[in-house]
Structures are given as C-alpha cells and as structure tokens.
Amino acid sequence: MSNDSVENYKVSRSSSIIRRMKITVIIPAYNESKTIEEILQRVQAMEMADEILIVDDGSEDGTREILQGLDGSGPIRVIYHEKNQGKGAAVTTGMKNATGDVMIIQDADLEYDPRDYPALFQPIREDIADVVYGSRFLGGPRRPAMFWHMVANKLLTLLTNVLYNNILTDMETGYKVFRRNVVDDLTIHAKSFDFEPEFTAKIMKKKVRIYEVPISFNPRDYDEGKKIKLSDAFVAVWTLFKYRFVN
C-alpha cells in the first residue's frame, strides 16, 4: 500500500468513526451567571456537540433564569436540581441522562477551553482509548496561579499512581472524556469535588484504556468564584484510599 493510500485510509477511517460518535457535553453549573452564556457560546463554536446537557445545581444568582431562556435551543437541554447537591451529584445526573456515545465534562466557568476538544476526542476517535484525561501538567499553555493548589493536585495524582499502579499526570483535571459503555455500570457516590478521585479510582479498577493529552488552563481566583478549597484535598485522599479496597 502506497503512502498516499495509507493516508487516505487513515482519513477515511477517522471520518467514519467521527460520523458514528454522538457527543454529549455535560456542564454542571452552580451560580455561574457571569460565565454560563460565554461557555455555551464557546462549546457551540466548536460544532462538535450533538447534545449540550446542563445540570443546574440549585443556582440562586440568576443562572437558572438564564438557562430557562436557553433550554431547548439547538442541542441545549437543561436539568434542574431543586437544591444544591454539589458538583459530583450534578455530573452524575448528567451522565445518567446523556444520550451520547461519548461524553465530556465541561465546567461552567472559563478555566477550561473547548478549543481543546479536537485533541481530547482524538484518542477515542482513533480507538486507542476508552477514557481521555486533559492534563494541565503536560506542557500546554496556562496562566500561573495558586501554587498550593498545584502542589495539592500533584500530590493527589502521585497518591493515585501509587495506589492504582499508573502514571497519570493530572488526576484532578476537570476535562474527562469517556465512552458511554465505560460508565454505564459505574455507580458514583460522590456529591461534591470527591467526584474526581472516585471516578478515577473506579475507572482504574476497570482496567480500561486511559489516555492523557495536554490542555490549556486559565484558573480563576476565589474572588472570581472559584469553589474548590484545599480542605477538599483531604477528602480526596480518603476517597482514593477507600475505593482502593471497596467498590
């Protein structure tokens, strides 16, 4: 087979996989009235999402009213939690109600950039991965901020690798992409930011193919609405140990 034929085969095969893959973007949102419209515009600008499933987690700042005006517009669908339950609960609701073959978690703030979608989906499109993590520590562009958060993230990732015998670089990343059949039988108990370590622990124990790709990152400060705290790191440590030994 000539080089041209090989390249044509690769393009044809990749296009076929792209056509078969229905993508759902899951957006957990709590009090994100300042950014929700902007992130939706950025997601839609990529023209990759067949479904944008937003879970409003009991917002009280006007986010819910904004979403009520957008619900049903194009691929946008909104599910409402009557009370705030936490990010983990919102993501789990999204996973249970998504119709896509492949899902990606997209935070409602502007820390993560949807322009990274092509790289995030490519390993699944090429059928070399079942789950893809977008790593903030693989050399992608990022705004330097919050040194101790970076330290906590790296220590939690190191603990994950030790407990589950892996070499991830960013367990706590918000960008996680996964096939539906990987999570269909997954029970997630996490209600808050312990979603990341519980999801990772259970994915690791399933022995699925995990891939990492570099992503850009623009972290916001607490005065800009950042919600996760350093105290959540202690919960993550307990979660990683717990699910190493129980289901």
Q: Kindly report, residue by residue over 27-73, the tens digit of the pLDDT.
A: 999 999 999 999 999 999 999 999 999 999 999 999 999 999 999 99
In terms of pTM, does the model score above 0.75?
A: yes
CATH class for the domain made up of 15-245 = alpha beta
Mean pLDDT of 147-172: 90
For residue 161, pLDDT over 80 is answered with yes
pLDDT for residue 68: 96
pLDDT band at residue 145 under the 50/70/90 scheme:
low
In angstroms, the CA 132 to CA 222 distance is: 28
Say if CB 177 and CB 91 are below 8 A apart. no
Per-residue pLDDT reduced to its tens digit, 172-224: 999 999 999 999 999 999 988 799 999 999 999 998 999 999 999 987 565 55
Look at residue 83 and give its three-state secondary structure: coil
Per-residue pLDDT reduced to its tens digit, 95-107: 999 999 999 999 9
In angstroms, the CA 108 to CA 114 distance is: 11
pLDDT for residue 14: 46
Pick the closest to residue 188 from 127, 239, 233 (CA basis): 239
The residue with tokens 């935070």 is 107
pLDDT band at residue 152 under the 50/70/90 scheme:
confident
> Which stretches does DSSP call E strand in the chain?
23-29, 51-57, 76-81, 102-105, 131-135, 176-179, 210-214
For residue 227, pLDDT over 70 is answered with no
Q: What is the mean pLDDT of the chain?
A: 88
pLDDT band at residue 230 under the 50/70/90 scheme:
low
Q: Where are the domains of the chain?
A: 15-245
In angstroms, the CA 8 to CA 10 distance is: 5
Whole-number percent of the chain with pLDDT over 70:
85
Give all strands of the β-sheet with 76-81 in edge-to-edge order.
76-81, 51-57, 23-29, 102-105, 176-179, 131-135, 210-214
Residues near 90 by beta carbon (within 8 Å), at least 6 away in sequence: 28, 29, 30, 55, 57, 81
Say if CB 135 and CB 215 are below 8 A apart. yes
